[in-house]
């Protein structure tokens, strides 16, 4: 029940972020275009890496069943 009441209040600030000093919050650039582009590129690279890993695992499994 507590979870439902906390979700119904969207303007409630996060207590952990509120306890951080302003210099820490200023040091984490979240909305800058460079940071967003770097994060998007890292996500794309991870997707490619996971695809290649799963493809090679499938290839090894199928060839081991054939031989």
Residues 27-53 pLDDT 10s: 666 667 887 888 889 899 999 999 999
Report the alpha-carbon distance of residue 45 to residue 41 in Å, rounded: 6
Q: List the domain range (segments joined by +) for residue 25.
A: 2-66
Distance separating alpha carbons of residues 32 and 23, to the nearest angstrom: 17
Strand runs labelled E in the chain: none
% of the chain residues with pLDDT over 90? 33
Task: Give the pLDDT of residue 19.
Answer: 86
DSSP type of residue 11: T
In the chain, the number of structural domains is 1
């Amino acid at each position: 029940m507590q979870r439902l009441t906390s979700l119904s209040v969207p303007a409630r600030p996060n207590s952990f972020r509120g306890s951080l000093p302003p210099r820490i919050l200023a040091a984490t650039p979240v909305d800058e275009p460079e940071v967003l582009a770097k994060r998007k590129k890292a996500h794309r690279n991870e997707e490619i890496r996971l695809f290649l890993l799963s493809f090679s695992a499938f290839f090894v499994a199928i060839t081991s069943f054939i031989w």
